[in-house]
Amino acid sequence: MMAGRTFGSDNHAGVHPAVLAAITAANSGDAVAYGDDDLTRAAVARLSAVAGARSGYLVFNGTGANMLALSLLLRPYEAVICAESSHLNVDECGAPERVLGCKLLAVPAPDGKLTPDRIADRLSGWGDEHRVQPRVVQIAQATELGTCYSLAELQQLRDFSRAHGLLTYLDGARIANAAAHLGCSLADLAAHADVLSFGGTKNGALGVEAVLVMTEGLDAGAPYHRKQLMQLASKMRFLAAQVDALLEGDRWLTTARHANAMASRLGTALAGVAGVRLAYPVQSNGVFTEVSRRLAHRLVQEWSIQEWSHTADGERSVVRWMTAFDTTAEEVASVVAGVRRAAGQSAATAEPWQR
């Protein structure tokens, strides 16, 4: 593997030892395939209970979770309102369009968060047969920019959506980080969705996500959709074991809290480096910093991080730093020192906001 911490993605981390232990423990004797086994039934029931969900479906990855969830909510002529910067819109290689055949109505959202007003802008065309019909509001919690909706904001969106006949899909690839940030339960978040995903992979699992259905009548076809969408694991018990290990002793929350704390520490430290400022508030395990393009180039090389976007004038970049369940304070200190060093060498002049 790699010599050290990369900060490039929470997917660069490995598997939490407890998750690996659970996989190993599950490897005993035969179990009926495709989820018709006791371990799967128990893990799904346990997760559903924690979320207050009617039913749950384990899948392989985040794209699979997004596609399965939306399949439960959409007819062919219905559309999804989402943030322009959302993973769904940017980083699924057009899976929603190809696999679901649905149009995304992307909304500019500077901080990655939808608001009733931003949604309202996309609601024209109701009843016009020439227009797709908005049906689902997709909310990522945490967002792709590391920000979180407050519970009050979620409630406001939910009220607005219901008042306009819209369903809510909560993309929870990092829902654990959001719960940790808000100090709330999974059920507190799930209550604002019709369907949500629960992400394990970015939070210490080897690879498992769950689709959870909150609202009656939406899950009738879920098993068939999952199979068609290539998300039905043969040896399901090994996905279930991962979920189980994450739920055990609220490990999903503990690991996320740790990752968030490391991000917070990193963000605070980086914000104090000359030539670096935070692009968004740190509300999960992602830190987005705005730096000169020259510095960005150097940091990307050194830390395997991603250059996320550019400022409109093209002179500065936003780079993303992700922490994980196993990031240490020493690693954070090390990267901060490295950035300080690089920034000192890169920055000849004061930054715009420092002038």
CA nearest neighbour of 212 among 200, 197, 202: 197
The residue behind tokens 């990369």 is 6
Kindly state whether residue 13 participates in binding its own copies, applying the rule CB under 8 A. yes
In this chain, which of 233, 246, 262, 295 binds its own copies, going by CB under 8 A? Answer: 233
Is residue 129 involved in binding its own copies (CB under 8 A)?
A: yes
Helices (H) and strands (E) in the chain — how many of each? 14, 11
Residues 45-64 within binding reach of its own copies (CB under 8 A): 60-64
Among 42, 45, 49, 90, binds its own copies (CB under 8 A): 90
Q: Check if the beta carbon of residue 189 is closer than 8 Å to that of residue 172.
A: yes
Q: How far is the CB of 211 from its own copies (least distance, A)?
A: 12
Taking the complex as a whole, how short is the minimal distance between the CB of residue 319 and its own copies, in angstroms? 15
Among 42, 91, 159, 165, binds its own copies (CB under 8 A): 91
Tokens at 181, concatenated: 């940030």
CB nearer to its own copies: pick between 220 and 274: 220
Shortest Å distance, C-beta 18 to its own copies: 12
AA identity, residue 180: A
CA separation (Å) from 265 to 8, 261, 308? 17, 6, 21
Using CA atoms, how far apart are residues 94 and 165, in angstroms rounded to an integer? 26
Is residue 328 near its own copies by the rule CB under 8 A?
no
Give, as one character, the DSSP assignment of residue 117. H
Rounded to the nearest whole angstrom, what is the least distance from the CB of residue 294 to its own copies in the complex? 19
Question: Which 141-200 residues touch its own copies, going by CB under 8 A?
Answer: none
Which tokens go with 241? 């074991």
Alpha-carbon distance of 353 to 341, in angstroms, equals 20
Residue 108 and residue 244 in contact, taking contact as beta carbons nearer than 8 Å: no
What residues pair up with 138 in beta bridges, in sequence order?
A: 169
Q: Give the C-alpha separation, 200 to 209, whole Å.
A: 5
Euclidean distance between CA atoms 151 and 310, whole angstroms: 31
Q: Does residue 224 interact with its own copies by CB under 8 A?
A: yes
Q: Which residue number, 236 or 339, has a Cβ lying nearer to its own copies?
A: 236
Q: Which of 50, 51, 71, 273 binds its own copies (CB under 8 A)?
A: 71
- Under the binding rule (CB under 8 A), the answer on residue 37 touching its own copies is yes
Among 115, 185, 215, 228, binds its own copies (CB under 8 A): 228
Binding mask 286-325 for its own copies (x = CB under 8 A): ------------------x---------------------
Which of 15-23, 111-119, 211-219, 333-341 is the region at the interface with its own copies (rule: CB under 8 A)?
Answer: 15-23
**Of 18-26, 186-194, 244-252, 338-346: span binding its own copies (CB under 8 A):** 18-26
Handedness of CA 89, 91, 92, 98 (dihedral sign): positive
Residue number with CB closer to its own copies (90 or 333): 90
Per CB under 8 A, the segment of 97-105, 177-185, 266-274, 291-299 that binds its own copies is 97-105
Largest CA distance in the chain: 68
**Span interacting with its own copies, options 128-136, 137-145, 264-272, 335-343, rule CB under 8 A:** 128-136
Nearest to 184 by CA among 21, 29, 51, 296: 51
Verify binding: residue 95, its own copies, rule CB under 8 A: yes
Task: Please give the DSSP secondary-structure letter assigned to residue 247.
Answer: H
